[in-house]
């Protein structure tokens, strides 16, 4: 996709080199690419909304905005569907070309919000999404969703390497009649 077709591009010709000037920012567009990986992501074509403010300052244009999108995926415990609204704040300076090092720059009277918004949304995605905080997950033996089968009760998984100690009974640490603890 060429940069001129990017929905993340915002023209700022009216703010360039006019410190103190500002304007509102409102964008809504289908995500041109998938945002995220693994279990949950904002799918390509899902709506991305950006609302905020553009302020002209001496060094460039300051962006302070909120980005919203809906991520879909699967629960990390039961593999059921998950839908989560991602709502993140983004703030950064788009600097005029100069000798100083900045993360973002103004190019041809435009700023490109893609990297700023994409990074914020992806970092806000849960690493292990769950359909609800107390999701019981899957039965380790049958693979059935425990929520769909309440008759199944999860058994405690014992590591077979500890099997030899299963019948071990520790001796009491309480003092015996002679006054010394038995060991």
Please report, for the chain, the start and end positions of each structural domain, with discontinuous segments joined by +.
3-124, 139-170
Residue 64 to residues 7, 68, 148, Cα–Cα distance (Å): 18, 14, 45
SS (H, E, C) 43-63: CCCCEEEEEEEEEEECCEEEE
Handedness of CA 162, 165, 154, 151 (dihedral sign): positive
Judge contact between 73 and 129, C-beta under 8 A.
Answer: yes
Going by pLDDT thresholds of 50, 70 and 90, the confidence category of residue 179 is low
Provide the Cα torsion 123, 97, 48, 129; round to 10°: 0
Q: Which helix (H) or strand (E) holds 122?
A: helix 114-124
Q: pLDDT of 69-120, one tens digit each?
A: 999 999 999 999 999 999 999 999 999 887 677 788 888 899 999 999 999 9
Q: Is the pLDDT at 1 greater than 60, yes or no?
A: no
pTM (two decimals):
0.74
Judge contact between 69 and 48, C-beta under 8 A.
Answer: yes
Q: Name the nearest CA neighbour of 68 among 46, 47, 92, 49.
A: 49
Q: pLDDT of 6-57, one tens digit each?
A: 999 999 999 988 898 999 999 999 999 999 988 999 999 999 999 999 999 9
Tokens standing for residue 92:
């950064």
How far apart CA 38 and CA 25 sit, in angstroms, is 31
Tokens standing for residue 8:
């993340």
């Amino acid at each position: 996709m060429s940069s001129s077709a990017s929905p993340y591009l915002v023209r700022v010709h009216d703010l360039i080199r006019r410190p103190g000037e500002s304007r509102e920012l409102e964008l809504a567009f289908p995500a041109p690419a998938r945002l995220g990986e693994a279990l949950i992501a904002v799918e390509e074509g899902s709506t991305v909304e950006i609302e905020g403010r553009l302020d002209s300052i001496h060094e460039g244009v300051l962006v302070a905005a909120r980005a919203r999108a809906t991520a879909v995926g699967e629960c990390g415990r039961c593999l059921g569907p998950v839908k989560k609204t991602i709502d993140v704040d983004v703030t950064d300076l788009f600097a005029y070309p100069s000798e100083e090092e900045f993360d973002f720059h103004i190019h041809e009277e435009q700023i490109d919000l893609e990297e700023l918004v994409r990074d914020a949304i992806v970092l806000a995605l849960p690493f292990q999404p769950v359909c609800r905080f107390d999701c019981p997950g899957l039965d380790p033996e049958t693979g059935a969703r425990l929520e769909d089968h309440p008759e199944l009760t999860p058994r405690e998984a014992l590591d077979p390497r500890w099997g030899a100690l299963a019948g071990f009974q520790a001796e009491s640490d309480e003092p015996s009649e002679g006054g010394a603890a038995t060991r």
